[in-house]
Structure 1
Amino acid sequence: MWRVMLVEDQVIVRQGLKVILEQDENIKVTHEAENGAEAITILEKYSVDFVMMDVRMPVMNGLEATRVIKKQWPDVKILILTTFNDDEYALEALKEGANGFLLKTADSAKLIEAVYSCMSGGLTIHDEVAAKVMPRLLQREKKEVITINLSPRELAITKLVGVGNTNKEIADELYLSIGTVKNHITHILQKTGLRDRTQLAIYAIKHEL
């Protein structure tokens, strides 16, 4: 059974959500909080599998709480549930690690379905929000790749860094000296604004280079 915490400053909304969620035999609302700070205090004392959280709350809002929770308890799944169909909220929530973003206009079946999706590793985004968010995410990704302007040689080296090759292996693969490879990597880091080889490897994987 999944242990769920509801984080919502309106009591009547929490009560309604609890009734809806506990219609499913695999879901049990074990804790309730009125704001993000209270939710974090609860997580410091008790184990929770899933957090359903509002965005706008006093003391600490849902976005700030998501950032803290995902940093300290990365395995806890978080679904942002809000009345605001705002793509900026959605983008920020996803950036902070939220596992889903749902509007309070969703019906009870959709709410329970979202819990199952998040718990199974899926990403749930309300259709109305996704229609605005996904094009922006794709456009942002495209801009990031275009503005870097890596040369063919630099792209080749970045790919090899991404698959875990050492400087010597890259040099052998591309028929270069180790010193030349090191110089190329230095230039690549400068162009991309990345700090080190590890960040470059993550970058290569993220952009499917």
Structure 2
Amino acid sequence: MKVLIVDDDKLVCSSLKIILDSDKDITVTGTGYNGKEGVKLYEELRPDVLLMDIRMDEMTGLEAGEIILSKYHNAKILYLTTFLDDDYIIKALNIGAKGYMLKQDFDSIVPSLHAIYKGQNVYGNEIITKLPNLLHQSNPAANYSSYGITEKEYEIICKIADGLSNKEISELLFLSEGTVRNYISLILEKLNLRDRTQIAIFYYKNK
């Protein structure tokens, strides 16, 4: 299993590398120190699992994860952080992360990577106790998480439901029209729909 580590604390990166290198089935293919490096290294190295912090300079781990998952929707990301913020956990769920753990759970890191590599989702005990309440909060985008729809894709679904064209969506969300078209193709695939009209109907049925 190839693992990429991204954390803005170089000591944490070194410690994680030592822990992971002790497992004969894990190879650390690279380390990065902010979200931008994480995106760049993911594209270069295409690891099996990305182990990433959340709060980092230049670009957060959540922003980096959203970019990666919008392009590689089968990417496996495990967030390892010191923060138990509800907003972070919801965002991680919405963008399609495979796991969320606290850094103090050192003994669980290697087993969690193996579980995610095999296709499972993994959450630390503290996160599991929060999930029932978080999933029942008023958050329309969360209704789409079971379909693998990211927050950005949900934004685009809303704009389509409002009757906006690709050009208008691209201008509002500061994306190219080509990127909007790519997002729409992914949305159609994930929701098993044929066209924009069906996306709008799906939206109003699932509000």
State how 1:93-112 maps to structure 2 within 5 Å.
93-108=92-107, 110-112=108-110
SS at match of 1:25: coil
Change (3 A) 1:43 1:141: closer
Percent identity of equivalent pairs: 33
What per-residue deviation string (whole Å, max 9, x for no partner) do you get for residues 112-134 of structure 1?
Answer: 11111211221111111221122
**Partner residue of 1:116?**
114
Q: What letter matches 2:93 in structure 1?
A: L
Query: Within 1, Cα distance between the matches of 2:203 and 2:58?
Result: 35
Query: Within 2, Cα distance between the matches of 1:13 and 1:106?
Result: 13
Q: Does 1:41 align with 2:40?
A: yes
State how 1:117-136 maps to structure 2 within 5 Å.
117-136=115-134
Give the structure with higher Rg (CA): 1
1:53–1:79 CA contact under 8 A, matched in 2? yes
Structure 2 alignment gaps of length 5 or more: 144-195
Query: Within 1, Cα distance between the matches of 2:22 and 2:203?
Result: 42
Q: What letter matches 2:96 in structure 1?
A: G
TM superposition shift of 1:68: 0.3
**Partner residue of 2:147?**
none
1:55–1:61 CA contact under 8 A, matched in 2? yes
Give TM-score, length-normalised by structure 1.
0.66
**Partner residue of 1:197?**
198
Give TM-score, length-normalised by structure 2.
0.66
* Count of aligned pairs between the two proteins: 154
1:87–1:133 CA contact under 8 A, matched in 2? no
TM superposition shift of 1:75: 2.2
